[in-house]
A and B are shown apart, each in its own frame.
Chain A
Amino acid sequence: MSSWELSDDHEIFRRVVRDFAESEIAPHAAQWDRDHHFPVDVARAMGDLGLFGLVFPERWGGGGGDFASLCVAIEEIGRVDQSMGITLSAGVGLGANPIHQFGSEDQQDRWLPDLVAGRSLGAFGLTEPDAGSDAGATRTRAHLVGDEWVIDGSKAFITNCGTEITSIITVTARTDDGISAFVVPAGTPGLVVEPPYRKLGWHASDTHGLLLDGCRVPTTNLLGKPGHGLRNFLSILDDGRIAISALALGCARACLEHAVDYAKQRNAFGGPIGRFQGLAFQLSDLAVAIENAHNLTYKAAWLKDQGRPIGQAAAMAKLYSTETAVTATRVATQVFGGAGFIEETPIVRFYRDAKILEIGEGTSEIQRLVLARGLGLPVG
């Protein structure tokens, strides 16, 4: 496409994903949320649809599509279930993408086909109990013993790392050259997947802490150049930010749709509550914010597809869309009144799910930091 406007193909694809999301995910999302259940079959079905492989070359079974298509898919899945939306976003962006971007041909041939097909899921462990926004403070260490790397340390809040189809976890660890990255296959001795967290939201998404206790991987599992681990992963995160922006857009859209429907049906003082300007205008403002979030998201995706720099655009999109999503859940809850506080309405789930969007893959503060630096300001 010659502009960042979505094409007819994107719209046809959106229809297919929406159809899938509404038939295969929406009817069960509340239940999975309640049971904290990760639906592995649905992840596989998303794989059959080609969602995990959208942006990867056909050589490994991918669809050879553009990044905008991936954003469409994440937005549509996220519109009915944020947990499955992040499963997709993390599976592609944090699981498969590092292998595709930085892997050797052997590593790509070994792991990509299953990741791309959605037969397996990959995870990415950057965050540690004492190193999140400040990823440079990574304490996990790796040292070479013979022809093996021995990794010791711990990781926190790692998405998709403990599912029954998790195949690999890429972790960053300190080496003599700085911070490097290693591919740790699931089940490697010394890799301990801790019990799942009790989270505020994203209940159907898989998140665990990890312990690496003398965990040994062959030297061939070093991913990318030694000492380039952090640099590489910060670049991966730029893509991830656009994807999270799309996920937030799906959340905001769902809230607006539900709230508008409810405002038309629910009566108070002799008519629908949507006739009160106090509510109606909040929804008008939300519609504007969603349009902006859409534009920022797909503009950033387009820049990426054009091979242009995306750092600033990705930060803007992530910052704006995720804050819009949080606002949208607050407004929608208000429109639903008491019902908005009760688990039977989907709004409650979105309300709990939205907050993490302002935190994961770089907090709002970190996005503002990136933008302030872009303005040439002397911030830290």
Chain B
Amino acid sequence: MNVVVCVKQIPDPAAPPSLDPGTNNLIRAGKLILDDSDAYGVEMALQLVDKAGEGEVTLVSMTPNGETSGLRTALAMGAAKAILISDDSLAGTDALGTAKVLAAAIKRAEPDLILAATESTDGYTGTTPVQIAEILGLPSVTFAKKVEIDGGSLKVERQTEAGYDEVESPLPALVTVTAGVVEPRYPSFKGIMAAKSKPVETLTIADLGIDAGQVGAIGARQEITDVSASEERASGEIVVDEGDAHQRVIQFLEQLKVL
């Protein structure tokens, strides 16, 4: 059971982010960390491989500046190795371009299963993973809240608005997981030390046989035309109980169409 996990390394969300005024892209200078959303995929993969009793977890990441801190965190959790694609010509790559690059790298690892998060914390278009599946010609199952491998086939509980779907699929396949799927472990000190000597293969797009015209700002078909500040969150409504609070709460929930 070999599992590839797509992990995005992102600027620390705790530090205030800034956008490049020219391109409206997020500035990704300096230290990048493991996107929290991807910690779930890593944990899920580790548990699946553990259960299968054989195989390993490989990380795949595309990152502008050769940064590996986020990968080290995921390696410290227990992944066996990582593939990092870093290339100057990737600057300005859009989601489809990213999917092409990741797909090419994933193909080299010949996994039985590919895991990614439903959406990243910084870009959150939620479009990359399904594009990867499409490029690789694999089935994709999104929004997984439970993932099991049973005799060579994949069983997923897929979160929906009303409840969940039970989905089965042959392998290999791509699955995107939600934050509810498993509780990620904290990397232990020993894990962090061991991660230092785990292999991180750094590739350029030439290594993957990808033409520079396909990626980067030149290859991008998406363009961020405008950015505006999101509305400030309105403060919540406080219902003071004067004997009718339950009715007002029900009314409120009905308005939201959740009842």
Q: Give A residues with C-beta under 8 Å from B.
A: 8-9, 12-13, 15-16, 19-20, 48-51, 53-54, 63-65, 69
**A9 to B192, Cβ gap below 8 A?**
yes
Look across to chain B and name the residue whose beta carbon is closest to the beta carbon of A61. B190
10 smallest A-B Cβ distances: which pairs? A50-B189, A63-B189, A50-B188, A63-B190, A20-B186, A16-B187, A13-B192, A49-B186, A54-B189, A50-B190
Give the shortest distance, in Å, between B185 (CB) and chain A (any CB). 9
Contacts of B186 in A (CB 8 A): 16, 19-20, 48-49
Would you call the interface of chain B mostly helix, strand, loop, or mixed? helix
Q: How far is the CB of A6 from chain B (nearest CB, A)?
A: 14
CB distance from B143 to the nearest CB of A (A): 24
CB-based contact B193/A9 at 8 Å: yes
- Report, as a range, how many residues of chain B touch the other chain: 10 to 19
A-B contact count (CB 8 A): 39
Chain A residues touching B, majority SS: helix
The 8 Å CB contact of B76, one of A8, A12, A53, A64, is A12
B69 — nearest CB in chain A belongs to which residue?
Answer: A12
Q: Is B204 an interface residue (CB 8 A)?
A: no
B73 touches A16 (CB 8 A): yes
* Separation of A15 and B189 alpha carbons in the complex (Å): 11
Q: Which one of A16, A20, A48, A53 lies within 8 Å of B192 (CB-CB)? A: A16
Which residue on A lies nearest to B34, using beta carbons?
A15
- B8 interface hit (Cβ, 8 Å): no
Given A12-B73, A15-B33, the answer on whether A65 and B193 have CB atoms closer than 8 Å is yes
Contact B193 A48, beta carbon cutoff 8 Å:
no
* Contact residues in B for A8 (Cβ distance below 8 Å): 69
Residue of A nearest to B190 (CB): A63
B11 CB to nearest A CB, Å: 14
B235 to chain A, nearest CB (A): 16
Residue in B closest to A65 when the chains form the complex, CB atoms: B189
Enumerate chain B residues within 8 angstroms of A16, measured Cβ to Cβ: 73, 76, 186-187, 192
Interchain CA distance A138-B76 in the complex, whole Å: 47
Contact B69 A69 (CB under 8 A): no
Cα A55 to Cα B192 in complex, Å, equals 14
* B51 touches A (CB below 8 Å): no
Question: What is the CA–CA distance of A49 and B190 in the complex, to the nearest angstrom?
Answer: 9
CB nearest to B195 among chain A residues: A12
- B196: Cβ under 8 A from any A Cβ: yes
Q: Is B72 interfacial (CB-CB < 8 Å)?
A: yes
Q: Are B189 and A12 in contact (CB-based, < 8 A)?
A: no
**Chain A proximity of B14: nearest CB distance (Å):** 10
- B72, B188, B190: the one contacting A12 at CB < 8 Å is B72
Are A48's CB and B188's CB within 8 A?
Answer: yes
Q: A9-B196, A12-B76 are in contact. Are A49 and B189 (CB under 8 A)?
A: yes
Q: Which one of B33, B73, B188, B193 lies within 8 Å of A49 (CB-CB)?
A: B188
**Residues of A close to B69: CB separation below 8 A:** 8, 12
Residues on A with C-beta less than 8 A from B188 are 48-50, 63
Distance in angstroms from B219 CB to nearest chain A CB is 33
Docked complex Cα distance between A53 and B186 (Å) = 16
